[in-house]
Amino acid sequence: MDQAARARLLVRSEENLDTFTEAVKPIVAAVAAEGDAALIRCAQRFDGAPAGFDAIRTPPEDFVHARGRVSAEVVAALEFAADNIRRYHQAQMPEDMWLKEMRPGVFAGERWSPIDSVACYVPRGKGSFPSVALMTAIPAVVARAKRVILLTPPGADGRADPATLIAAELAGVAEVYRVGGAQAVAAAAYGTESVPRCLKIVGPGSPYLIAAKKLLAERIDPGMLAGPSEALVLADETADGRLAALDLLVEVEHGPDSSGFLVTPSRDVAEAALKAIPGFFGQMSETRIDYTLTVLSSERGGIVLTPDLQSAYDFVNDYAPEHLMIHAKEPYAHLGQIRNAGEILLGENSSNTLANFVIGPNNVLPTSGWAKTMSPLSVFDYMKRATVAQVTPAGFAGLAKAAEVLARYEGFDAHANAVSETRAKIMAERKG
């Protein structure tokens, strides 16, 4: 294909947010001005909450109610996933502080500390996502964030998704607020009668949520701008096209705004995948089939046949996918060629489904090409670093002259005076 056609394949559904931004502005303004009243109206208008819906915070009895609505099998799976996610993020934790002697008597390092408050957003529009509750809340708790709340849309019964409430409990989060979309971002940014104002909001969502995050970025840290799902499957000539097709469908079934491509230099693999896809539809619901066909018949999905492996690598790196699955007998042979991907899954056993739920690494990943500069959600998103330094008298003597010279060159007199003979005299007097 020519460069223009190739460039069109790199475009994501939320790349131009102007329309979404205009749509969310009045929502944000209403929440800022009216608080809970605006949230209740939005819940009824956008989420289908019942007319009597009037409480934003999930009451304790709803957590008890949730246990009766979720099967023991699902609860066990959530517990299994939570354990793996917690283990992974505990291993990710940095040491509280480190110091290194840079020169004799000069010590410098960093101290890590948790942020004071964070809102974890769990979407619900095209399904229920208790896995996102685990992935956003567990690292926050592991990082020891001072206050962790969860925001998620109410359903038609006015309640939060029951499995999401169980996931919140497993993560150690007791504050769950029934609010979704752009209004959830506004609630966390401004605070309402029910929802506490937070310093940061994390979690994936629709283009409306992303637009609200950008709009309110000066009032709340929007975290990673994780939008609709996207994935690439990179397959060499040793891959089984049927398995590659199975993994291709994993992310494109999320919704019509998702993106997904199988990228391969092998015509045999491409044709095998193309032949296999219709057979998998027999095990999918009509809704998921519709989403999948919408994506795969557009310029946001399909099979890309490249002239060689290098062209395949180039497409992957230019696309910078949220998820990348490498199907090959020797996947590590390709790993060194990949620069840009939020997540890299190696080999035909490393299905994206496993990574989304139970391996342990986070499933909240940079989308829309942001994997070129951003990383997956982690404990570091709930922490901040402060540099720490200490200089002894001997160390001061070795640094002061160079610092004074630079300060005077840049025209900062007080800077220079603070490390000049003036300071030395004062310190000598104190010793005397």
As a whole number of Å, the end-to-end CA separation of the chain is 81
Runs of H (alpha helix) within 239-266: 241-252
What is the three-class DSSP state of 8?
helix
Three-state secondary structure call for residue 279: helix
Catalytic residue positions? 322-323
On whether the CB atoms of residues 124 and 157 are closer than 8 A, the answer is no
Residue 365 and residue 83: Cα distance in Å, rounded? 20
**How many beta carbons lie within 10 A of that of residue 113, not counting itself?**
14
Task: Show the DSSP H helices in 281-392 as ranges.
Answer: 286-296, 309-319, 332-335, 352-357
Residues in the chain: 432
CA torsion through residues 89, 355, 208, 45, sign: negative
Residues in Cβ contact with 244 at an 8 Å cutoff, skipping those fewer than 6 apart? 233, 235, 262, 264, 269, 272, 273, 325, 327
Q: How far is CA 269 from CA 76, 234, 239, in A?
A: 37, 11, 7
> CA–CA distance from 149 to each of 174, 211, 217 (Å)?
7, 21, 19
Strands 301-305 and 259-264: parallel
- Sign of the dihedral defined by the CA atoms of residues 178, 183, 184, 187, in that order: negative
Instruction: Give the 3-state secondary structure of residue 71.
Output: coil
